[in-house]
Amino acid sequence: MTEMHTPQAGDDHAADTDVVALLMRQHGDIRNLFDEVEQSTGDARKDAFRRLVRLLAVHETAEEEVVHPFARRNIPGGEQVVEDRLTEEREAKETLAALDDMDTDDPKFLPRLIALRADVQEHARAEERYEFTHIRRSTDAARLASMAKGVKAAEAMAPTRPHPGVQSGAATWRSVRWPR
């Protein structure tokens, strides 16, 4: 099968001068891939799921490396806000890792995927409302732009596999292998 395109930060023609706008669009890309996995079967589903796993991995890594550290230091109550988000991410990664070992045509796959989708969607909206809003308030345009660059760079370097054990431990993400 030919390699299908995985959406990545900056693959539209937007200026990408705002890290928050960039990440919000990527939340939509993730949601689109969930649709694609749900609506396909067989090899097409396997492929869509592989792209979803990859996108989730690079997206979360970029947030952990670029966005959460900034929020921790610069927004009021940032420590707790980021802690809450990391807890949500950890839970999602655990579910994702379990799904990763499963055949995408297994009858248990879809119900678990839908449960994961709900968790991921709640996590994404919580970031947008309780973290991103405050990031935009507490910094200037230059910093939003440099963080957008940072996210794109982090995604280019990021591992493409989930690992629930450690946050921001890029090396640990690589230790999980693709299913056959």
**Residues of the shown chain interacting with other proteins in the complex, contacts defined by CB under 8 A:** 7, 12-14, 20-21, 24-29, 31-32, 34-35, 114, 117-118, 121-122, 125, 128, 133, 136
Handedness of CA 22, 60, 1, 40 (dihedral sign): negative
What token pair was written down for 142? 């230059």
For the CB of residue 139, give the shortest distance to other proteins in the complex, in Å: 13
Q: Which of 36/100 has CB closer to other proteins?
A: 36
Q: Which of 24/170 has CB closer to other proteins?
A: 24
Q: Which of 39/87 has CB closer to other proteins?
A: 39
Phi then psi for residue 103, to 5 deg, are -70, 135
For the CB of residue 164, give the shortest distance to other proteins in the complex, in Å: 22
Write down the H helix ranges in the chain. Answer: 19-39, 42-62, 68-74, 78-100, 109-126, 133-137, 141-157, 170-173
